[in-house]
Amino acid sequence: MQNQNYFKKVSKPKKNKVENALISYEEQPSINKTRSLSVNSRSNYFQNEVESKTIQIINEISIIKQQTNKQNNYIFQNLQQKQNILLNQESQSIIMQQSQVIKSNLMEFQEVCKSKEMQTILFQGNKLYNHLLLFNHSQFYYNSESLKYEKLDKASSNKFQLTGKLYDVKFDQNKNPKYLIQEGTFEIFLDKNLFILNGQGVEYCGKSNNEKYRGEFVNGKYKQNQENKTNFIRSQSAPIKKILIYDFQTGTLLNKDQENKQQNYDQKYIRIWCKYNEQISMQDIIILQQNGRLTSSIIDCYVYHLNLLSEEKYFKKDRNKQKTIDKILFLTSAFTTNFGDNYTFEKAKQLFEIELLQFQEMNFELKKIYSWVGFPINKCNYHWYFVLFDLKSGKCLIFDSLKNSISNINRNEKLLSTLSQLLQIQLLQIELSQYSGQQVDSYSCGYHICEFMKYRQEIQFEDNKEYQYNQKQIANILEQVITNKEL
């Protein structure tokens, strides 16, 4: 009875304790069950009960932990998603800001280019560059996303920084070109037409894809370290042959040395000089003065002259006027002559890409710059005629001074097909120029095509220009072109 009274006494829950923490033995069958057990058995029984309850509590705690972990993971994932959204929004905001800065810089750059009468062309298909800047005798390919702009003080021009590739040409007094091709990051001062390569870059050998220097450049010049200085000296170790240069008009030796101070050119030798990168001699002047057959050197000199003249006139026009001009490009007769007789398209393509190397970054799509491309053709070394391609319409215009040229209009279909493929146009029509068939002798075909090229070059800028053949006048012009006389 004492035990019963004890259980009754402790079974009452105390105030403010956990409900049902202790309950009366009447409500606990396990307690009634233990009445018949010995003290030791009763102790073991309660011990087992405690262990069972402990395991149950541990399991419940484990379940609670799992649920808590799931809830925490869910909360963490939500936070991470929100964080990613915020980061994406922030990144997009930064990208938009950068894009706006680039766009603003590009607009500023193009406005300055426009004010300097430079031409900007947008093109696709090149992984490195997407714009081409054209100005007198030079081309600059660049990536607009690399543009940086720095506004300098009023005394200086504004400075732009661009990653690109520069094709620059300088000419000596005889109009012989010297090519500079560099690639890298340039500091650009458009007011002075200065493109200065700084940092890591490449300079190429003349007009080619062969690397001359690769490394660090400072103010446009390659910075030589001790190793490449040694390599440069070794490459220059071959003996240099002496070349004597004479003034063809006076016969005076121009590059005098100690042994040849007073030496004058002996008249019995043929005098030779270089003009527009073509070898010219006194014999060419005699040809012009005596109405002889024109050589390819004379005609190709005139081709270079007309191209330079076109560039100079074009870039003197304002941008609005430039947009109305259908530009023409002439290629030298040496280009098609070098095809040979049994040429393949691959050989012609290789020669084309060498001749027009400066357009390789835009995949030789000349139609983006020019409306017309013309070729003086030397047939079998005895007759000259001229073919002109309209890049917009796919038409080919043939100028032939011979009177029987109408019946021979398709005499070289392979050549016309090859040239049209190189120019990336579909040849839709072949026409004979209305000015063909005016030759009345057996030698003046070269003079006729020069007159026709002159006419086509002039109508770029003068729409009302009329064709008129004047052999004496064109011969005089050609003589001035191949000599140092003023035109």
Could you tell me the CATH number of the domain that includes residue 297? 3.40.395.10
Number of domains in the chain: 3
Domain C-terminal end among 180, 209, 235: 235
What pLDDT score was predicted for residue 282? 92
Q: Pick out the chain residues at pLDDT < 70.
A: 1-47, 49-51, 65, 70-72, 74-76, 82-83, 86-87, 89-102, 151-157, 226-270, 405-411, 485-487
What pLDDT score was predicted for residue 289? 94
Residue 347 belongs to some domain of the structure: yes
Phi and psi angles of residue 73, each rounded to the nearest 5 degrees, phi first: -60, -40
Residue 111 belongs to some domain of the structure: no
Q: Are residues 172 and 23 in the same domain?
A: no
Residue 260 belongs to some domain of the structure: no
Distance CA 156, CA 426 (A): 49
Structural domain range at position 395: 281-482
Tokens coding 65: 């932990």
Q: Are residues 441 and 314 in the same domain?
A: yes
Phi and psi angles of residue 218, each rounded to the nearest 5 degrees, phi first: -125, 120
What pLDDT score was predicted for residue 24? 45
Q: Are residues 470 and 341 in the same domain?
A: yes
Question: From the DSSP assignment, how many helices (H) and strands (E) are in the chain?
Answer: 12, 16
Q: Are residues 442 and 314 in the same domain?
A: yes
Distance CA 141, CA 143 (A): 7
Q: Are residues 352 and 478 in the same domain?
A: yes
Domain C-terminal end among 215, 235, 255: 235
Q: Are residues 73 and 125 in the same domain?
A: no
Task: Look up residue 336 and give its amino acid.
Answer: T
Residue 143 belongs to some domain of the structure: yes
Q: Are residues 10 and 70 in the same domain?
A: yes
Nearest in space to 193 (alpha carbons), one of 163, 212, 170:
170
With b for 16 or more beta-carbon neighbours within 10 A and e for fewer, the 57-96 pattern comes to: eeeeeeeeeeeeeeeeeeeeeeeeeeeeeeeeeeeeeeee
Residue 267 belongs to some domain of the structure: no
Q: Are residues 433 and 380 in the same domain?
A: yes
Domain C-terminal end among 205, 235, 265: 235
Decide: 458 and 314 in contact? Cβ < 8 Å: no
- Distance separating the N- and C-terminal Cα atoms of the chain: 142
Tokens coding 376: 């003086």
Distance CA 232, CA 238 (A): 12
What pLDDT score was predicted for residue 43? 62
Decide: 456 and 329 in contact? Cβ < 8 Å: no
What pLDDT score was predicted for residue 87? 67
What pLDDT score was predicted for residue 9? 47
Q: Flag whether the pTM goes above 0.75.
A: no
Distance CA 356, CA 307 (A): 13
Q: Are residues 127 and 59 in the same domain?
A: no
CA separation, residue 406 to residues 222, 439, 456 (Å): 57, 13, 21
DSSP for 436-454 reads: -----SSSTHHHHHHHHHH
Residue 268 belongs to some domain of the structure: no
Helix (H/G/I), strand (E/B), else coil: 313: helix
For 8-28, write each residue's pLDDT tens digit.
444 444 444 444 444 444 445
Distance CA 116, CA 183 (A): 23
Q: Are residues 312 and 229 in the same domain?
A: no
Q: Are residues 217 and 292 in the same domain?
A: no
Q: Are residues 143 and 223 in the same domain?
A: yes
